[in-house]
Amino acid sequence: MSLFSWSDEYSVGVSSMDEHHKQLFNIINKLYNVMKAGKAKQAIIPIMEELIDYTKYHFQEEEILMEKAKYYGLHFQKQEHMKFIFQLQALQQEIKTEHNNTVVAIKISSVVVNWLLEHIIKVDKRYEDYLKTNVTQS
């Protein structure tokens, strides 16, 4: 797992959502730095909490936007969002009971990174053209 830096190719064409995604990158990088420094899970748990909270907020806002734009992919997005929140919460529980820092790091990397790439680069990219023409940005 390496640090993520934002690039325009990740843009979904809606500035508020890009800002949210950037914030997700920030939290994930914070998580990465703590893991790299070999810090105990006591340091990881609050950042995971922050990631879960922010992700919930982001999904909620994204769904509101999609609802307003009557986006055809809303149902699929909602399912994906629910699945990922569930995965993050399960991961948080596992971290609490796992004593090996390396195992914790591997688990976080696979869930968080896979999701980040899947969600922003693949799933959210699909709404780019649709929302660009159906949402008036402020």
- Report if residue 77 touches Fe ion, rule: CB under 5 A: no
Helices (H), the chain: 15-36, 41-68, 74-97, 101-108, 114-116, 128-134
Site for Fe ion in 28-67 (CB under 5 A): 62
- Report if residue 124 touches Fe ion, rule: CB under 5 A: yes
Q: HSE, CB side, 13 Å, CA atoms: give it for residue 115.
A: 24
Assigned token pair, 121 = 């680069």
Shortest spacing between CB 120 and Fe ion, in angstroms: 6
Q: 17 vs 108, which CB is nearer to Fe ion?
A: 17
Q: 91 vs 124, which CB is nearer to Fe ion?
A: 124
Binding site for Fe ion (CB under 5 A): 62, 124
